[in-house]
Amino acid sequence: MPGANGRATQADVARVAGVSQATVSLILNGGDTGRRRAGEQTRRRVLDAIRMTGYVANPAAQRLAGGRTRIIGVFTYEPVFPRDSRDFYHPFLVGVEAQTEELGCDLLFFTSTPSREGRRLLGGGFRRLGIADGCVLLGRHDDKRDLADLLSRDFPFAFIGRRESDAGTVPYVGADYVTATREVVERLFALGHERVGFVGDLRRDEPSVDRAQGYHQAVRAAGSRPVVLNGTGLTGGEALDLIGETGLTAAVVWPSGLAPDIRAAALARGKSVPGDLSLAQLGDVEDGSPDDIDWTGFRIPREQMGAAAVRLLFEQLVSPTLLPADALRRSLPCTIVPGATTGAPARTRSRSGGGGVR
């Protein structure tokens, strides 16, 4: 029954089903219109022939024979395949893989889409996504045009990380950075710090906005005045200078990779952390730094987010109706880490606000 190379062909399917090869092609590739034109009885004969011959030459045949491909796509806006086990994205992918395996599905990474300045874009790659039943998207720097285009298509997807779009509700599983940041800053005020600064990325992407919101909530609740310092592109020493100029005794830092640089600069100047300056990270270090310091801050539930994104995607695939907007937006709590890089402010500091680190 199979051809000379041992693999069944469309011609084999047509011969077993008693139809023309054109009819087989129409049913496999013609979508709903093709199936209606061929008729239900003919369609069933072709599906029976597919099972008998073992014809699985393309994903369309697998969809018809098994309902879906049971392939879940993964698209990343930045190269995120782990370089080692400390890689920031590694736990996300562990969660994605484990949940996909549990659901009895396969993973397919999409890497051939257009790239610009080190960032991948879906661009014209939407047709390729159709190989999979749906897709999990990952990466800090997304593209709003991609999201709008995806929302306009009948294609299930889920983003790892909160994402918003003017075009509609983006299905996502995010981390509750607002609550986690607020709790970290509240702990610093509880230690006796009168002013706590925010040092870091002031861009308007969702992860940065959420952290800034949590910071401002805590500062307002403490009756203090916010001190927001743009740390983008600064060295640790430059950031430390800004902290000293504002008289701060404590600061929360985002992205987290800047915190070790600030600490190193303080130590180089004979200052101690947390003796002279309390520092907290707003999340996990992204560069896989081997630094073994017990940082105050919070841990992102990365593995759980990856798994939950796959479950959200799968729910969209099996649900007979569209999920409500609230069900498409999910947030997981972060784990607060008391750490050893924060403490009570030094007793010798001036209560007037002018005695910060210098």
* pLDDT, tens digit, 9 for 90 and up, residues 97-152: 999 999 989 999 987 665 655 566 676 566 678 789 899 999 877 778 888 888 88
Distance of CA 290 to the CA centre of its chain: 23
Give residue 64's pLDDT: 43
Q: CA separation (Å) from 65 to 61, 102, 155? A: 6, 21, 20
39 is written with which tokens? 């008729």
Instruction: Give the integer Cα–Cα distance in Å for 195 and 184.
Output: 14
Tell me which DSSP letter residue 358 carries. Answer: -
The dihedral through the CA atoms of 108, 111, 114, 118 has a sign that is positive
Superfamily of domain 10-66: lambda repressor-like DNA-binding domains (1.10.260.40)
Tell me what the pLDDT averaged over the chain comes to.
84
Asked whether residue 353 carries a pLDDT value surpassing 50, the answer given is no
The identity of residue 227, as a single letter, is V
Q: CA separation (Å) from 235 to 81, 262, 263? A: 27, 8, 11
Question: What does the longest C-alpha to C-alpha distance in the chain come to?
Answer: 93
Asked whether residue 262 carries a pLDDT value surpassing 70, the answer given is yes
pLDDT band of residue 59 (cuts 50, 70, 90) is very low
Domains 10-66 and 71-175+302-334 fall in the same CATH topology: no
Give residue 63's pLDDT: 44
Instruction: Give the integer Cα–Cα distance in Å for 70 and 62.
Output: 9
Long-range interactions of 286-293: CB distance < 8 A, separation 24+:
286/88, 286/255, 286/256, 286/257, 287/88, 287/257, 288/83, 288/84, 288/86, 288/87, 288/88, 289/86, 289/257, 289/260, 290/86, 291/260, 293/260, 293/263, 293/340, 293/341
* pLDDT, tens digit, 9 for 90 and up, residues 160-202: 999 999 999 999 999 999 999 999 999 999 999 999 999 988 8
Does the domain spanning 71-175+302-334 belong to CATH 3.40.50.2300? yes
Asked whether residue 87 carries a pLDDT value surpassing 80, the answer given is no
Quick one: residue 159, left, alpha or beta (phi over 0 = left, psi -120 to 50 = alpha)?
A: beta
The overall pTM is greater than 0.85: no
Instruction: Give the integer Cα–Cα distance in Å for 11 and 17.
Output: 10
pLDDT band of residue 5 (cuts 50, 70, 90) is very low
Residue appearing with tokens 């509609």: 168
Quick one: residue 54, left, alpha or beta (phi over 0 = left, psi -120 to 50 = alpha)?
A: left
Instruction: Give the integer Cα–Cα distance in Å for 11 and 105.
Output: 29
CATH node for 177-299: 3.40.50.2300
Instruction: Give the integer Cα–Cα distance in Å for 244 and 219.
Output: 19
Domain boundaries, the chain: 10-66, 71-175+302-334, 177-299
Looking at mean pLDDT, say which of 3-7, 109-113, 218-222, 253-257 comes out highest: 218-222
206 is written with which tokens? 């969702």
pLDDT band of residue 270 (cuts 50, 70, 90) is very high
* pLDDT, tens digit, 9 for 90 and up, residues 202-228: 888 999 999 999 999 999 999 999 999
Q: Which residues contact 343 (CB under 8 A, 6 or more apart)?
A: 191, 274, 275, 278
Q: What is the mean pLDDT of residues 298-317?
A: 96
- Of the listed ranges 47-61, 67-81, 99-113, 164-178, the least confidently predicted one is 47-61
Nearest to 291 by CA among 318, 264, 324: 264
Give residue 33's pLDDT: 55
Give residue 256's pLDDT: 80
Quick one: residue 108, left, alpha or beta (phi over 0 = left, psi -120 to 50 = alpha)?
A: beta
Q: List the beta bridge partners of residue 256.
A: none
Quick one: residue 78, left, alpha or beta (phi over 0 = left, psi -120 to 50 = alpha)?
A: beta
